Amino acid sequence: MAPTSSSTQRKVLLVGWAGANWQALQPLLDAGAMPALNALRTAGAWGNLAPIKPCVPPMLWTSLSTGTRADKHGVCSFFEPTDEGTGLSRVAAAQVRRPTVWNALSTDKQSSVVVNWPATAGGEQPHAFVASDEYFRQIHSATQARRDSQYTNGRLAKHVIECRCAAGDSADERFGRVLDALCHVHSVACGLVEEQPWRLAAVCYPAVQELVDCSPNPLTRAELTRSAWRLLDAMLAELMSAAGEAVNLIVASPCGDAGASTPLAQMGILAAVGPSIEPERQVYGATILDIAPTVRRLLRLKPDSAADGRVLSDMLCQEAADRRSPYDLTPRDAAADAPRGAECRRSSFEVAPEVVSADESQLELVRWNQRLNLAHALHDSNRVTDAIACWRTLWEERPAEPAYGVNLASCLLRDRRLDECRGVIERLPKSEREGVEVQLLLTRLALASKDIAEASALAMELSARREADPHTLGEAASVLLECGHPDAAEAALRRAIEIASGNAAAHVGLARVWWQRDDAEQTAAEARKALAIAPAYAEARFLLAEALHRAGREREAIPEFERCLRDQWRTSDAHSHLAGLYAKRDAAMAVRHRELAGV
């Protein structure tokens, strides 16, 4: 028999918002302009969602829906050359090599609804109702595209009018099509969510930035941005209403402002609420790779053994966090779960990826970008051996691109292939070798080669550069500290904080300085400053725990080490510390931690 408890029947509504970050949305939330998102964040779990590199939308959205990086899921660009090599088409479901969450549901004979998700064209399955991104693109690229009024009701109409008024006469001819497409996606999503049976509904809304880019006037763009986010918030409220009760809702943005100078602005957003979600819970350390494993857990699907992400157990209530067996469904229930009238209804959404003719130079550019994006993805994932092979080949084919050589040298250094790294740097142009990035590589290379005098001299020179940014100063300080120069390291870190006050990494660096000076109280103070800026900073948490332990504040140290275990940071060391801390408190716990530490 299939499970009958209500908890096993929970649905998941996954909503994708492109380009959202909390820094940009906070003024709207404070002004009460986004009540749906504000209620979601207040009642449920929320946090930042770290992107992965490179920030290419089809790659990011596919990583979010599969829980894997590009080298596994296979999507590395916007376009794909045709098999005949005569044209290009947008990436489609055929290019996705790992199962998405709706693929996994379909295998389990359970239904899903997928609307406007990138790389889904041609991916129709017996139990997945897919209105692909290509469907909406082809509809709204046509000159006879319908007006947004055909897709909106009274509750949304005022927000649509706001957008049109904010754009004014300065918006170009694309504005109407983009707004129409946004309203159309929402209309189809609400209709399918209301009419079709589903365990998972995944809806990806067009980016607000696409609307904003239609207006060249800076004053108009600011008001249009606010109006567009208010419209999206109203759409979220309506979609939630269409989904009904007993639904676990997750709103996710795989990347914030990719061009922003601060890491926080580059972060996407995560907000979730529902029967299986812990209320009033802030989530730390989440990445876009964690969404698919978490959705699988909520739906009681078998985990993907190739997933690069983890289940966000901290935001799930205990019942949901403990689920590990796949959802059991009898053949009879599976048949009843199939979409009603699916064959006649879904045919109106089925479109083949549009193929455009391309000459050899255009095809070569797409193939090159695919290889380049794959190299960046491997580099970012620390799959160094594969990244080295990619960067080496790219640089051999285009030796005039020094950035490829710099990335190759960086990977070689991480792989401890020091002579090869030195040889690559020597081949770079002089102007490139004198730049900050390569000088940092040379500094790290000297330290790895145990040439302390050379590493110290290079780090001193870098920290004295007038143009040094906080990252450069932090890296130089790290080397200076390793070389036994805590005073010089402290000076560099304090200069970094002067440039950017909210610099958690610089406070961690200062905590290390005070740790080297054997001052546990100052170490703890700087670690707390770092955690106040970035609560998920696991290294800061461990430094704080060690400092509290050394200062004799054992009761405070225990929960900090236990948090390090939950964050999976230096687990063996954390278990060793906890074994000592529990020795006089709880003998059984002490023995358990010694065993887990491998002592």
pLDDT in tens, 110-130: 999 999 999 999 877 778 899
- Kindly report, residue by residue over 527-549, the tens digit of the pLDDT: 999 999 888 788 999 999 999 99
Is 179 contained in some domain?
yes
Phi first, then psi: what are they for 281, rounded to 5°?
Answer: -125, 125
Task: Please say whether the beta carbons of 452 and 481 come within 8 A.
Answer: no
> Is residue 326 predicted with pLDDT exceeding 70?
no
Q: Which region among 279-288, 338-347, 350-359, 566-575 has the lowest average model confidence (pLDDT)?
A: 338-347
Task: Output the pLDDT for position 502.
Answer: 84
Range of the domain at 28: 11-322+350-357
Task: Please say whether the beta carbons of 540 and 524 come within 8 A.
Answer: no
Task: Output the pLDDT for position 534.
Answer: 82
Is 435 contained in some domain?
no
- Kindly report, residue by residue over 260-319, the tens digit of the pLDDT: 666 777 889 999 999 999 999 988 889 999 999 999 999 999 999 999 999 998 899 876
* CA neighbours closer than 13 Å in the CB half-sphere of residue 354: 12
Selection from 255, 254, 256, 264 nearest residue 534 by Cα: 264
Q: For 325, which DSSP code?
A: S
Assign 125 to helix, strand or coil. strand
Selection from 445, 442, 494 nearest residue 468 by Cα: 494
Res. 141 pLDDT band, cuts 50 70 90: low
Task: Output the pLDDT for position 349.
Answer: 75
Is 285 contained in some domain?
yes
Is 4 contained in some domain?
no
CA-to-CA separations, 184 to 145, 350, 410, in angstroms, rounded: 10, 16, 46
Res. 2 pLDDT band, cuts 50 70 90: very low
Q: For 353, which DSSP code?
A: P
> Is residue 333 predicted with pLDDT exceeding 80?
no
Q: What is the mean pLDDT of the chain?
A: 88
Task: Output the pLDDT for position 353.
Answer: 83
The mean pLDDT of 171-199, rounded to a whole number, is 90
Task: Output the pLDDT for position 10.
Answer: 83
Is 118 contained in some domain?
yes
Give the Cβ contact number of residue 424 at 10 Å.
24
Among the residues of 249-349, which ranges form H helices?
263-266, 291-298, 318-321, 331-337, 342-346
Task: Output the pLDDT for position 321.
Answer: 58
Angle separating helix axes 402-414 and 436-448, nearest 10 degrees: 20
Q: Are strands 268-273 and 128-131 parallel, antiparallel or unpaired?
A: unpaired
**CATH assignment of the domain containing 172:** 3.40.720.10
The mean pLDDT of 9-16, rounded to a whole number, is 91
Q: Which region among 272-276, 327-331, 360-364, 494-498 has the lowest average model confidence (pLDDT)?
A: 327-331
Report the C-alpha gap between 60 and 424 in whole angstroms: 31
> Is residue 325 predicted with pLDDT exceeding 50?
no
Res. 339 pLDDT band, cuts 50 70 90: very low
Question: Kind and range of the H or E element at 281?
Answer: strand 281-287
Report the C-alpha gap between 94 and 74 in whole angstroms: 10
Task: Please say whether the beta carbons of 196 and 113 come within 8 A.
Answer: yes
Res. 320 pLDDT band, cuts 50 70 90: low
The mean pLDDT of 44-68, rounded to a whole number, is 94
Structural domain total, the chain: 1
> Is residue 426 predicted with pLDDT exceeding 70?
yes
Task: Output the pLDDT for position 229.
Answer: 96
- Kindly report, residue by residue over 475-500, the tens digit of the pLDDT: 999 999 999 999 999 999 999 999 98
> Is residue 330 predicted with pLDDT exceeding 70?
no
Looking at per-residue confidence, does 325 or 8 come out higher? Answer: 8
Is 178 contained in some domain?
yes
Res. 568 pLDDT band, cuts 50 70 90: confident
Task: Output the pLDDT for position 319.
Answer: 65
Put residue 258 in one of left, alpha, beta given phi > 0 → left and psi -120 to 50 → alpha: alpha
Task: Output the pLDDT for position 139.
Answer: 80
> Is residue 343 predicted with pLDDT exceeding 60?
no
Task: Output the pLDDT for position 331.
Answer: 30
Res. 143 pLDDT band, cuts 50 70 90: very low
* CA neighbours closer than 13 Å in the CB half-sphere of residue 280: 0
* CA neighbours closer than 13 Å in the CB half-sphere of residue 557: 23
The mean pLDDT of 11-27, rounded to a whole number, is 94
Report the C-alpha gap between 477 and 472 in whole angstroms: 8
What pTM did the predictor assign? 0.85
> Is residue 520 predicted with pLDDT exceeding 70?
yes
Is 338 contained in some domain?
no
- Kindly report, residue by residue over 70-104, the tens digit of the pLDDT: 999 999 999 999 988 889 999 999 999 999 999 99
* CA neighbours closer than 13 Å in the CB half-sphere of residue 270: 26
Is 168 contained in some domain?
yes
